[in-house]
Amino acid sequence: MPITARRVTSTIGAEVSGVDLAKPLSPAEQAEIEKLLLEHLVLAFRGQNITIEEQIAFARQFGTIAEQPFTTKYEKSPEYVVLDQISPKGDGADSWHSDNSFMAKPPWAAVLKASRLPAVGGDTCFANMYAAFEGLSKPMREMLEGLKAVHDITKPLQKAINSGHAKDDADLRAAQQQWPPAEHPVVRTHPVTGRKALFVNPNSTTRILGLSERESNLLLPFLNDHVRSPDYQCRFSWDEGTVIFWDNRPVQHYAVADYDERRVMHRVALAGDRPV
């Protein structure tokens, strides 16, 4: 059965069928999925019902498993993160972000699996940062290119500690020393496609360098708000067994915090390069 993809929106996202993620991919299947990921940025595979070991094995076919800068109290292995929530508002995922952008080399992709879902709610939205950048005026695009911004672990880790999801021995100061603030381009260039994408987010980006504090405090919220346009987005509803694979370099995501029943997700990230 050939691999097929059905677009979710004209801007981002596709649902993929014709492949069993529990089995090793053939070279042709791997190449096709890589091609679809570059084209659609976010791929959803329905009805997979794979184990965490199979999820890790699937991810590993596309790269090296990323180091986790901090873990929650739920996982038993450094190769994945468990997101186990009942009251998710304000935990951090309900804000547009790219995963772990505070790392010097953020993960290039992530594989997320739904293991337990509330009766209703808990969708995930994804946004195309190529489109967000291209949606800015030419003068704004020209101004942003060449600028850098600071990304810091403090805010997302503090939220994990405050909400009780971090490990009991989580040490904010030690994490800050291990993962000092990173400087990344405000507009990054994708290493494969060569396309330019906006690369700031409200979870981790603290200021834009080269601007005055007042200028940064005005421009950064504008860019974060710009990403919220539905023109750049798609939205996936989960089923247990759904697996979503996305390119973290030109994509941000938002976990909709509209549920009050337990939701358990498993995420495996792939090690990336320094943004340029």
Asked if 227 and 90 count as a contact pair (C-beta separation under 8 A), the reply is no
Q: How far does CA 159 lie from the centroid of its chain? A: 17
Residue by residue, DSSP assigns 27-56 as HHHHHHHHHHHHHHSEEEE-S----HHHHH
The SS3 of residue 157 is: helix
Strands 4-7 and 251-255: unpaired
Positions marked catalytic: 97, 99, 253, 267
Say how far apart CA 135 and CA 256 lie, in whole Å: 24
The set of residues, in sequence order, having a beta carbon less than 8 Å from that of 201 and lying 6+ positions away, is: 95, 96, 97, 98, 101, 224, 227, 252
Name the token pair of 7.
């677009």
Q: How far does CA 147 lie from the centroid of its chain? A: 22
Alpha-carbon separation of residue 147 from 30, 215, 220, 276 (angstroms)? 36, 13, 12, 11
Asked if 123 and 256 count as a contact pair (C-beta separation under 8 A), the reply is yes
